[in-house]
Structure 1
Amino acid sequence: MFFGNQFANVVEWEEFRDDMIFWKWSNREIKKGSKLIIRPGQDAIFLNNGKIEGIFENEGEYNIASDIIPFLSTLKGFKFGFNSGMRVEVLFVNTKEFTVKWGTQNPIMIPTPQLPGGMPIRANGTFNFKVNDYVTLIDKIAGVKESYLVEDVKIRITSVLDQLLMKWISREGKDMFNLQANSFEIGKGISEDLDMQVMDNGMTITGFHIMSFNYPQEIQDKITKTASYEMIGNVQKYQQIVMTDGMASGNVKGGGAAADMAGMMMGMNIANEMMKQMNPGSKPSADSAPAPAAQSSGGKKANFCPNCGTKNEGANFCANCGQKLN
């Protein structure tokens, strides 16, 4: 003889995981006194012979006999006995939006006129999805599986992602060397196509984001150099800037006061040339013009060379740079 709640079951998601999309409570009987526990972020779907009997969305603890059975479409006439039960399946669904990281496994060869073999590009980012159609989910997946993981969806998505990236980069990637500028349009197109891929499983893509596009290192180096040339104007000015930076950092060194003076004069000349390029209609100001060589008064020889600053010992020409001193 059975007494009271001796055979009561607790129907709940016993194997809950954050990366699990659904889990099925099955092949067990519910009896008098059984309870249903629905936790936050879960829906409970009662099934009978693979068909939905009722969907319960509010979190909490429910008495199955009094709170659940009366609302089930075909099972509401079932009467609990003390020594009999009812075999039923309950599908617990994770209702949250899942975020998944993705990245291309191999470079995608994007056709481009500049490279006959195509532009090898890698990309990475995230996509979001959630369950939105329980009937389709049960018909296509839950009917044959006891559980379903985010990894299962990721595998399906990544299997077609390379082709979709190639499709939308070719369509929206107006500048192959600056794809990040068009990443929003590319991601939007891919999101729409991916939604069609998972729609037949009862899910929907709620977002697709491209964090970065990555080029081969040698191509990235050329992009950087090209940007430098465009910023400066031409190769000659680029070399001048490199020389000036080298002298300023101490990596380019000369000998003595003459080398220091020569470096300073070179820097002034480069600066004047760059100013002329930036303002072709302007003339050098009196302040920027080089000062005339110092003249000795009364025909006397200068004590210091006006060109390099070397001390003069009474000679007519500077011993260091050859500047005439009278």
Structure 2
Amino acid sequence: MSFFNQFANVVEWEEFRDDMIFWKWSNREIKKGSKLIIRPGQDAIFINNGKIEGIFEQEGEYHIASEIIPFLSTLKGFKFGFNSGMRVEVLFVNTKEFTVKWGTQNPVLIPTPQLPGGMPIRANGTFNFKVNDYVTLIDKIAGIKDSYLVEDVKIRITSVLDQLLMKWISREGKDMFNLQANAFEIAKGIREDLDMQVMDNGMTITGFHVMSFNYPQEIQDKITKTASYEMIGNLQKYQQVAMTDGMASGNIKGGGAAADMAGMMMGMNIANEMMKNMNAGQKPPADPAPASSAPASEGKKPNFCPNCGTKNEGSKFCPNCGQKLSE
């Protein structure tokens, strides 16, 4: 027994990395005293002559001779004698779901009638993926590589991402100046297409998210200004809010022509409000009393005779009936 223990191996993922999708333990012999160590978030796959002999998913420490070999011997005629060591490969797979940040390196030109050359748009977000098919993974990647990194998957994804963004923005981007409103549908379509891209490597895209769409600064400024008009509803209110913002930020004073215009408009608005308040505070004048019912002032001759109604020309007596017209 001491002879075998002297050459015992520990089969384990020796340099585990969070950004590594798989790592291959190879070019060494498994001997009678060897043991297998599987850590949380790992699966161990025994490969012999390029074929999967067994998959071990439970974390823990296993003795090759008493726990692994008896199980493997029941699969596909696997035979292992202890007269000498046997070369066998063990592929350790990281089972977690990976989250990767992405961003367009260059603006994606989206065809739009408003701009003949296309709308230059940048975007960024995250995508998630994990290994889901060990047979395909070994056949397409692990058969020729000893390890595989998240960065390798990211490079493959980003190489086709610009084309997919153009495809799904053109299809789902009903409002080219408000793509964020359709971000969910755009991301859903891209995820389905990306899943087809990595499926042949034994992986699956479990999520794809667009965090933001970014326009050139001059276009973004126009979008923001248009949104402000629509949000407020009309020009008058927009001007009022603009002046209020200017006063709050201290930009009205010393602001040149714009500040002068804002001040003039503010003064006009204040004057209008004052006129409205003054008009509201004034009472309407009382209706004048009828001339016939108004009492004559003392010593003043009436214009008409109170007895017969004849017009008076300033005399003391009515020229028609002789009625005395004043004291």
Q: Report the more deviating stretch, 164-173 or 236-245.
A: 236-245
The answer as to 2:8 corresponding to 1:24 is no
**Aligned equivalent of 1:107:** 107
Report the AA paired with residue 187 of structure 1.
A
| C-alpha distance in structure 2 between counterparts of 1:289 and 1:244, whole Å | 26
Give the total of aligned pairs.
271
User: Any runs of at least 4 consecutive aligned residues in structure 1 with deviations exceeding 6 A, and if so which?
Assistant: none
Offset, 1:114: 1.0
**Aligned equivalent of 2:196:** 196
Give the TM-score of the pair, scaled to structure 1: 0.76
1:190-249 per-residue CA deviation (whole Å, 9 max, x = no partner) reads 000000000000000000000000000000001111122233445565445544654675
The answer as to 2:75 corresponding to 1:78 is no
| C-alpha distance in structure 1 between counterparts of 2:173 and 2:63, whole Å | 58
Cα separation, partners in 2 of 1:242 and 1:79, compared to 1, 3 Å: closer
| C-alpha distance in structure 1 between counterparts of 2:176 and 2:35, whole Å | 60
The answer as to 2:145 corresponding to 1:145 is yes
**Aligned equivalent of 1:119:** 119
Cα separation, partners in 2 of 1:58 and 1:252, compared to 1, 3 Å: same
Say if 2:165 and 2:190, in contact at 8 Å, map to a contact too.
yes
Offset, 1:4: 4.2
| C-alpha distance in structure 1 between counterparts of 2:267 and 2:279, whole Å | 11
**Aligned equivalent of 2:181:** 181
| C-alpha distance in structure 2 between counterparts of 1:141 and 1:250, whole Å | 62
Give the TM-score of the pair, scaled to structure 2: 0.76
**Aligned equivalent of 2:89:** 89
Cα separation, partners in 2 of 1:263 and 1:175, compared to 1, 3 Å: closer
1:272-317 per-residue CA deviation (whole Å, 9 max, x = no partner) reads 9xxxxxxxxxxx9x8584656xxxxxxxxxxxxxxxxxxxxxxxxx
The answer as to 2:56 corresponding to 1:52 is no
Say if 1:69 and 1:75, in contact at 8 Å, map to a contact too.
no
Say if 1:70 and 1:76, in contact at 8 Å, map to a contact too.
no
Cα separation, partners in 2 of 1:110 and 1:93, compared to 1, 3 Å: same
| C-alpha distance in structure 1 between counterparts of 2:190 and 2:122, whole Å | 15
Say if 1:29 and 1:85, in contact at 8 Å, map to a contact too.
yes
Say if 1:244 and 1:267, in contact at 8 Å, map to a contact too.
no
Identity rate, percent: 83
| C-alpha distance in structure 1 between counterparts of 2:251 and 2:25, whole Å | 74
Say if 2:243 and 2:266, in contact at 8 Å, map to a contact too.
no
1:47-66 per-residue CA deviation (whole Å, 9 max, x = no partner) reads 01110000000000000111
**Aligned equivalent of 1:225:** 225
1:152-194 per-residue CA deviation (whole Å, 9 max, x = no partner) reads 0000000000000000000000001110010000000000000
Say if 1:240 and 1:270, in contact at 8 Å, map to a contact too.
no
Say if 1:10 and 1:35, in contact at 8 Å, map to a contact too.
yes
Cα separation, partners in 2 of 1:51 and 1:244, compared to 1, 3 Å: closer
Report the AA paired with residue 71 of structure 2.
F
Say if 2:53 and 2:78, in contact at 8 Å, map to a contact too.
no
Report the AA paired with residue 165 of structure 1.
L
Cα separation, partners in 2 of 1:5 and 1:230, compared to 1, 3 Å: same
Instruction: Give structure 1 stretches of 5+ with no counterpart.
Output: 254-261, 273-283, 293-326
Structure whose CA Rg is larger? 2
Instruction: Give structure 2 stretches of 5+ with no counterpart.
Output: 255-263, 283-327
Does the residue aligned with 2:151 lie in a helix, a strand or coil? helix
Report the AA paired with residue 140 of structure 1.
K
| C-alpha distance in structure 1 between counterparts of 2:265 and 2:169, whole Å | 49
| C-alpha distance in structure 2 between counterparts of 1:151 and 1:212, whole Å | 22
| C-alpha distance in structure 2 between counterparts of 1:92 and 1:250, whole Å | 63
RMSD, matched Cα: 2.7
Q: Report the more deviating stretch, 263-272 or 117-126.
A: 263-272
**Aligned equivalent of 1:322:** none
Say if 1:97 and 1:128, in contact at 8 Å, map to a contact too.
yes
